Amino acid sequence: MRAAIRKQLSYVRRDIKYLDGLMSDGYAPVAKEIKQLLTIYKVYEQQEYMYKNKVHSVVDRIVSIHQPWLRPIVRGKAKAPVEFGAKFDLSIDEDGYGRIETISFDAYNESTVLQDAVERYKARTCRYPERVLADQIYRTRENRKYCKTRGIRLSGPKLGRPGEIAKEDKKVEYQDNTDRIEVERAFSLSKRCYGLGLIRTKLEETTLTSIMYKITDSSQINFLNFNQPLGLSMDPQNRWIKMADSIPWSQFEERYSQLFEGFNGNVAKPLRLALGSLIIQTKYQLADRELVEQLKENPYYQYFIGLPGYQQEEPIDTSTLVLFRKRLTIDIIMEANEYILQAAKKRKDEAKNEDDHNQMPPTSGEGTTDASCVEPTKNKGTIILDATCAPSNIRYPQDISLLNESREKLETIIIRFCKAYGLPCPRMYRRQARKNYLALAKSRKRSPNKVRAAIRKQLSYVKRDIKYLDGFMSDGYAPVAKEIKQLLTIYKVYEQQEYMYKNKVHSVADRIVSIHQPWLHPIVRGKAKAPVEFGAKFDLSIDEDGYGRIETISFDAYNESTVLQDAVERYKTRTGRYPERVLADQIYRTRDNRKYCKTHGIRLSGPKLGRPGETAKADKKVEYQDNTDRIEVERAFSLSKRCYGLGLIRTKLEETTLTSIALSVFVTNLFKIQKRILFAFFIFLLQRATKLRVSLKNELISIH
């Protein structure tokens, strides 16, 4: 690492020297480059300082050349201990509404904000608040003194020894901690639903959302003057109408009808309603409730899902969407994906043949074909392979949090047993166990000994609760069906955690990272931002037209190199020939795969084995071009994760998780096909306009 940094520093220093020489001769950079140069000079100074002093931090460290105002914000969270963005304080009033009190790109001490926030509250309401619910970092002596002077109760335990009313203080403290969760709920809602989780703007002022407002006519538009849906003239060129007309719903319906073998019960919803709703949801990443509202309000969406006309009633309810995701499995989605890709390829070939027919003059031998002249099938086309992980929306797994959650679930089941069967409730020390968990969970600095001590206590609590339940079940009392899977998962978690504790290791085979989703396992990817992800791992292949297909998908970590040969054989089944080249990462270039590709005349990307031969220079150019073309699969991953929900899977069931991943790939291809159709239509209109202009010009010349 230090050797690589030293080399890059020397290259940057050399380039800076060249630029300084050019500017000293009187040549000036353009205005756009000045800020960028100043930022690069600052980055070089910081990196050189850290390299020479062997440190990893520096004051006002620049983490992005394009956004030099960003700074590292150390938060100490398990999933992301350091974040890069704006830090701000949010206050929630008694009505649950939020206000930004302070915002800055620099890391600041939150405790300095409390007094100003309280004073602004007084300016709004003409009185001080009765209580301030804040985290431990806000409870400094100055803030305690400020609140005490003004008769404000600051949440948290009091300083000094417990007094006579210690029991009442405990109840008040517990209630304050419960009410303080409202601000965490506000953060969670804003990050999940309203874009606070990832700010995509690139300028400093747009990141802070500085909006200029101009006062205009304040009279409200009359509702009667607004175009009502019943009187709305729908645009036939709308993208949803054109897409609905281009999808072969009838062929999909035949495959969908095979899922229903019985003749009793209610009639199932049509496929167009089911698949169309999921396509809209995947495109805009809507929650189930929001999707139902959008379907009720938007006539274009109602046309897309196949309703006979506009209706003001909800076409489906939220629970039906879960049934749709269960019913439309990954196999059905991938069949639909293959069908639309084959249809798109057929349209492309027909258009190409039509262009060739229009451009090529007829030959004397047209219409006759000699079988001896037909060339044998050659390798043609390209397949790009790569693997990624679709992370699921779960809490970052920690041993202590998993054991605490297991303990709480077991205690809930034990209480239900006792109430349902009239049994005496055993002593479980729930408050003490919760207190022991919070002592570590709220600790910023966790030493290994402290973590092991907390895990040992939680293991003892879980072991005790399992013993109680085993005693109940040995006496003939049975858990309900819903609890059986949960108990089996908790027993497995306890075994794994006990094994890791006794053997002092941090990994175990088939490790469970979520009690509610026990099929998820750690997927080690080795990325800088997230070295370990928790979700389904899958291989995506991109053909020469840029469309994607899922080749393999699994919740377990597997070796990607085993996928290559099967993917190539499926390509041959689709096209009738092997691809000319396979563009894949280094992990796919095993000796078996190299031998397989050589046997079938396929060029596998990457450097050849052995010493460089006479064609080394030409091979370098081919290798560079292959690496350039391989970026297409990374672009597909980026598009699906940013725009089509592959970056965070929010479904909670194993089958619906796989369906959501398949829908992301399917919808990515669907909108890519639509854009190409629109582009081809635009080119067609442009060519017609050009021909018309040329013909008019020729007519004018002939007239004159």
List, for residues 43-97, the tens digit of each pLDDT value. Answer: 999 999 999 999 998 999 999 999 999 999 987 777 778 899 999 999 999 998 9
Q: Is the Cα dihedral 592, 597, 599, 603 positive or negative?
A: negative
Higher pLDDT: 241 or 258? It is 241
- Whole-number Å distance between alpha carbons of 479 and 437: 27
Query: What CA–CA distances, in Å, run from 645 to 193, 668, 672?
Result: 13, 10, 16
Is residue 405 a contact partner of residue 515, using CB atoms and an 8 Å limit?
A: yes
What are the structure tokens assigned to 426, written together? 């055993």
User: Does domain 72-158+169-207 correspond to CATH entry 3.40.720?
Assistant: no
Distance of alpha carbon 369 from its chain centroid, rounded? 54
Burial grade of 652 (CB within 10 A; 0-12, 13-18, 19 or more): middle
The predicted pLDDT at position 159 comes to 83
The predicted pLDDT at position 564 comes to 97
- Whole-number Å distance between alpha carbons of 136 and 438: 13
pLDDT for 596-649, tens place per residue? 999 999 999 999 888 888 888 898 999 999 999 999 999 999 999 999 999 999
Is residue 511 a contact partner of residue 521, using CB atoms and an 8 Å limit?
A: yes
Higher pLDDT: 489 or 189? It is 489
Higher pLDDT: 157 or 692? It is 157
What are the structure tokens assigned to 592, written together? 């078996």
**Residues near 44 by beta carbon (within 8 Å), at least 6 away in sequence:** 9, 12, 13, 16
What are the structure tokens assigned to 145, written together? 């003194």
Higher pLDDT: 270 or 455? It is 455
Residues of the chain with pLDDT > 90: what percent? Answer: 62
pLDDT of residue 704 exceeding 70, the answer is no
The predicted pLDDT at position 361 comes to 52
Confidence of residue 148 (pLDDT cuts 50, 70, 90): very high
Neighbour count for residue 139 (Cβ, 10 Å): 18
Higher pLDDT: 405 or 74? It is 405
Is residue 629 a contact partner of residue 382, using CB atoms and an 8 Å limit?
A: yes
> Which uninterrupted H or E stretch holds 73?
strand 72-74
Distance of alpha carbon 68 from its chain centroid, rounded? 25
Phi, psi (rounded to 5 degrees) for 49: -65, -45
pLDDT of residue 378 exceeding 90, the answer is no
**Residues near 618 by beta carbon (within 8 Å), at least 6 away in sequence:** none
Q: Across residues 569-597, what is the average pLDDT?
A: 95
CA-closest candidate to residue 283, choices 319, 321, 240, 230: 240
| Nearest-10 Cα torsion for 232, 236, 240, 242 | 170
pLDDT for 417-432, tens place per residue? 999 999 999 999 999 9
Is residue 541 a contact partner of residue 383, using CB atoms and an 8 Å limit?
A: yes
- Whole-number Å distance between alpha carbons of 315 and 98: 34
pLDDT of residue 562 exceeding 90, the answer is yes
User: Does domain 522-663 correspond to CATH entry 3.30.420?
Assistant: yes
The predicted pLDDT at position 224 comes to 38
The mean of the pLDDT values for the chain is: 87
Confidence of residue 225 (pLDDT cuts 50, 70, 90): very low
Q: Can you list the alpha helix ranges (DSSP code H) found in 285-398?
A: 288-297, 299-304, 318-327, 330-359
